[in-house]
Structure 1
Amino acid sequence: MSTAWSTVGDGDFFCPGCGGDRNYRRRTGRRRLTVLGVPLLPRGYAGPVVECAACRHHFSTDALDHPTSARLSAMLRDAVHTVALAVLTAGGTSSRTVRVTAVAAVRAAGFDDCTEDQLTTLIDALAADTGRLPGAYEGVDEPCGAALAIELHEALGPLAPHLAPGGRESILLQGARIALADGPYSPAEREVLTTVGGALLIRPEDTVRLLETARTPS
């Protein structure tokens, strides 16, 4: 039995065999019964499969569901940025300690040129967009309303399945440290952080534990 493969697409993916970002070819094949090297009777179709351009191994197309390392880094960076904005929206930006803590978290995630002014300006701009950050504009009292919850789930939901538990907890703890920079959690900050925990697929009891752990001086 032999298979004649045809390429129907290509791109970049995280190769499970190589353990890194590689080019791939999406391929389909036609099986034929081969006798003495001569293909004779057709035996149906094979694939589609994903073939790594480096190791040449074939994988299920499910391999394309895993983000590349570059994409994963960008998703992580955006997640930390979104959490920082959500916490600042809930707790306010009047405390310089809070702003400095938020900037440090965002810079560590990959936004190297982030400044206090950039964060506060962005929050002001989002506050003017009544479809983005509820609680930050007239007529809405709850800082973590439906729209903000959607923002958090959109940023964190696609990322969470690809992170180890420690990675998901780290994002929550970064948000907690921003909230605690000027004192105990406000009800609004705790509500936002609880939403963050849920979006990160952290169990409610573990979210409570982690928020209490963040309050304990190291």
Structure 2
Amino acid sequence: MLPLGPVIGSVQCTSCHGRFGVESLEQPTCVRLGGMLRDAQYTVALALLAAGGTAHRAAREAACAAVRDAGFEDCGEAQVLAALAALSGLGGELYDAHGMAGGLAVELHAVLEPLAPHLAQPGRERLLLQGAAIALADGRYRPQERDALDAVGRCLDLPQARVGALLEAATRAPY
């Protein structure tokens, strides 16, 4: 027997069959990353619908369209409103005097913060702009919608100045 030197650990991808160092196990798989992105789009849609209220049909339709575009094709308005009620604490006001209701604030942080390091800035900005489209579906930003969008920007680690510029640009974009 001849010693060949130290053995370097590696893993092999079952999709591409490429070999990578074991540190690659710390990164999400493409399936996991896709799931994280779908959950993020869904949560942003719920947060913005809650911020603007559910009274306006255009906002409800925009939120439901965003949820379906995220990959939840069978999710209709009833399911979105039920999820919103569950996250908002089973009735009462969806937003309190200090901003987002507890369940939605926790959900935004839990879903967006782990995703942010894995997305390039254009991807993080796109999530914010999807929320802006929901907020603008029924008119100008309401203060609570703006607060929710600021929270989305913070969770996605976007600079506050960039969030402001994107939200201002979204008001001029045709939808």
Please state which band the TM-score falls in when normalised by the shorter chain.
Answer: 0.7 to 0.9
1:171 aligns with 2:127: yes
**Greater C-alpha Rg:** 1
> Gaps spanning 5+ residues in structure 2: where?
none
Q: Distance in 2 between matches of 1:56 and 1:101?
A: 40
The aligned amino acid for 1:136 is L
Q: Distance in 2 between matches of 1:189 and 1:195?
A: 10
Task: Select which of 114, 117, 120 maps to 1:161.
Answer: 117
As a proportion of its length, which structure holds more helix?
2
* Aligned twin of 2:63: 102
* Aligned twin of 1:201: 157
Q: Percent identity?
A: 47
* Aligned twin of 1:136: 94
Highest RCO, 1 vs 2 (Cα 8 Å, sep ≥ 6): 2
Q: Count the aligned residue pairs.
A: 174
Q: Distance in 1 between matches of 2:60 and 2:16?
A: 47
> Gaps spanning 5+ residues in structure 1: where?
1-38
Task: Select which of 125, 134, 137 maps to 1:181.
Answer: 137
1:116 aligns with 2:77: yes
Aligned 8 A contact 1:80 1:105 in 2? yes
What is the SS of the residue equivalent to 2:41?
Answer: helix
Q: Deviations over 1:140-168 (max 9, x none)?
A: 42232665433212111121222222111
Q: Distance in 1 between matches of 2:76 and 2:11?
A: 42
Q: Residue 169 of structure 1: CA displacement?
A: 0.8
Q: Distance in 1 between matches of 2:10 and 2:39?
A: 31
Q: Residue 98 of structure 1: CA displacement?
A: 0.3
What is the SS of the residue equivalent to 1:50?
Answer: strand
1:151 aligns with 2:95: no
* Aligned twin of 1:68: 29
What is the SS of the residue equivalent to 2:9?
Answer: strand
The normalised TM-score by structure 1 is 0.71
